[in-house]
Each structure stands twice: as C-alpha cells, then as structure tokens.
C-alpha cells in the first residue's frame, strides 16, 4: 500500500480505509486474522471441529481473498471436506482429517523434519503433524511404527534421525519414544502424547506425564493428540 501511495495509484484516504479492515475481517461468526502471516510467517489455520461447512468455507474464502496462497484446515470431517472440495482446489487426508487449500509450498526450511511414531495407531496424529509441517514449507521424513517395544526398528534409522533438524516423536501407551529419541539425537525433539492405550493410560495422560518427565535433554512436549501444534513448532524451529 505504501508503494501504491508513492506511485499515486492509491489515495491516502483509500489506504486508511483499507488499513481499518486489514488486520482482521468480521464475518459475524468469525474474525479471520489477515495479519497472522506478517506476525508469525504463516496464515491463520482453521480448526474445523465444531464449525459448520458454511463457516469453514466463509473463513477460508476470506483468507484466500486477502492473499493467502495456502490455507490449512485441521480436524475436518469427511462431510465438511466434501463441501469444501466444491468450492476450493484442495487436498484432503482422511487419516489425519487435514485439508490443504491451495498449493503445498516449496520447502524452504533449513533441514528435514522427522516425524516418528511408536505404533501404527499413532498415525492420525503423526500425519496431522507431518502435513502441517509440509504445508508450512518443510521437507518431512516419516518413520512409522518404530516404538520401543521393538527398539531395533528405531535404531535402524539412527542416521536419518541424527541428520534431522527437528524430530517429532508421536507415541501413546507409556510414551517412551520421545525419551529414547532424545538420547540419540542432538536436535530438538517435540514429544506428542497420543490417547492410544489401555485403561491406565487415561486417554493419553500417562504418555503426557512420561514425556514431561523425560530424562533426555532437549525434549519439549505439546498437548495430547496435538499433531498440529507439534508440526507448527517444528516448522518454526526449522526456519530459524
């Protein structure tokens, strides 16, 4: 806008009017944050659960209209995804329930992000992390079903793990995977406890406490099943 004012293609009065509505847009049911990418480097991400298809379409449309090339929608139901596909060019992953509207950007992070899971049941959360990281411009390597019950499966990938910039360790049960990886690598490890497990796992609380009490240095922890939060944080680390 400053450039347009200087060139005479935009009046100061019109610029002021645009500035008033530029930071966010009031849709009544939502206020899309159009300056999120300026502050944080990525457009606002839409949390789909609890929103109607019409609300998600409205928010995504507002973000796209303001120049967001890629819009990420998490926790999106199949029904809502079908409605969105009629309005946007998008990719939907049914496992993670993540939709990417628009193109996946070229990877510009400084290294690779490894997303590892304890078991196959952890894949929905892991894919949420992996797709989030990819949509934010990162190269992602997936290492699935490498839990501590068969440690040789993890150790076979030691070279990949040690070469990464960040590791996202996704595990339920007792959540020991984050500690084991934390003892093998020299990069940050983001532990993601999942709600996978039998009764005494308390819906992921056992894994959460285990990861929080990790004796390995450099391990941080996000909330239970929060693959998005881990993927986003991993991307921020990989772009430093």
What domains can you pick out in the chain, each with its CATH number? 2-101 (no CATH), 112-238 (3.40.50.1970)
Q: What confidence score (pLDDT) does residue 28 get?
A: 80
Q: Could you tell me the pTM of the whole model? A: 0.86
Provide the pLDDT for residue 63.
87
Per-residue pLDDT, 183: 93
Nearest in space to 35 (alpha carbons), one of 48, 47, 25: 25
Matching residue, tokens 């996704």: 170
d(CA 42, CA 182): 28
Tokens of 233: 């944080």
pLDDT of the chain, 240 residues: tens digit per residue: 788 888 999 898 888 777 666 677 667 878 777 777 777 777 888 999 999 999 999 999 888 888 788 899 999 999 999 999 999 989 999 999 999 998 888 888 899 999 999 999 999 999 999 999 999 999 999 999 998 889 999 999 999 999 999 999 999 999 899 999 999 999 999 999 999 999 989 999 999 999 999 999 999 999 999 999 999 999 999 998
Nearest residue to 74 (alpha-carbon basis) of 236, 230, 178, 204: 230
Q: Which is nearest to 111 in space by CA: 144, 140, 136?
A: 140
Q: DSSP for 195-220?
A: S-S-GGGGGGHHHHHHHHT--STTEE
Helix (H, G, I), strand (E, B) or coil at 24: strand
Backbone angles phi, psi at 72, to 5 degrees: -100, 135
Residue 32 Cα distances to 20, 63, 82, 135, angstroms: 14, 7, 22, 19
- Cα separation, 43 vs 230, whole angstroms: 17
d(Cα 184, Cα 136) in Å, to the nearest integer?
26
Grouping H, G, I as helix, E, B as strand and the rest as coil, residue 74 is strand
The pLDDT of residue 141 is 97
Using the structure block, give the residue that is written with the tokens 């959360």. Answer: 125
């Amino acid at each position: 806008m400053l450039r347009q004012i200087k060139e005479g293609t935009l009046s100061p009065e019109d610029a002021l009017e645009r500035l008033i509505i530029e930071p966010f847009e009031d849709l009544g049911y939502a206020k899309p944050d159009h300056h999120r990418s300026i502050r944080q480097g990525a457009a606002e991400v839409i949390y789909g659960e609890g929103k109607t298809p019409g609300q998600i379409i409205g928010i995504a449309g507002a973000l796209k209209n303001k120049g967001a090339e890629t819009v990420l929608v998490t926790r999106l139901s199949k029904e809502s995804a079908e409605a969105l596909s009629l309005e946007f060019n998008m990719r939907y992953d049914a496992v993670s329930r993540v939709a990417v509207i628009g193109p996946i950007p070229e990877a510009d992070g400084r290294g690779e992000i490894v997303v590892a899971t304890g078991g196959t049941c952890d894949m929905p959360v892991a894919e949420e992390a992996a797709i989030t990281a990819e949509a934010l411009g990162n190269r992602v390597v997936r290492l699935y079903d490498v839990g501590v019950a068969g440690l040789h499966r993890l150790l076979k990938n030691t070279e990949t793990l040690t070469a990464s910039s960040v590791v996202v360790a996704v595990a339920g049960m007792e959540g020991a995977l984050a500690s084991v990886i934390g003892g093998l690598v020299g990069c940050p490890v983001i532990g993601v406890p999942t709600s996978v497990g039998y009764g005494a796992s308390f819906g992921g609380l056992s894994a959460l406490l285990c990861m929080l009490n990790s004796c390995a240095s450099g391990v941080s922890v996000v909330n239970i099943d929060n693959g998005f939060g881990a993927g986003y944080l991993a991307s921020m680390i990989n772009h430093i």
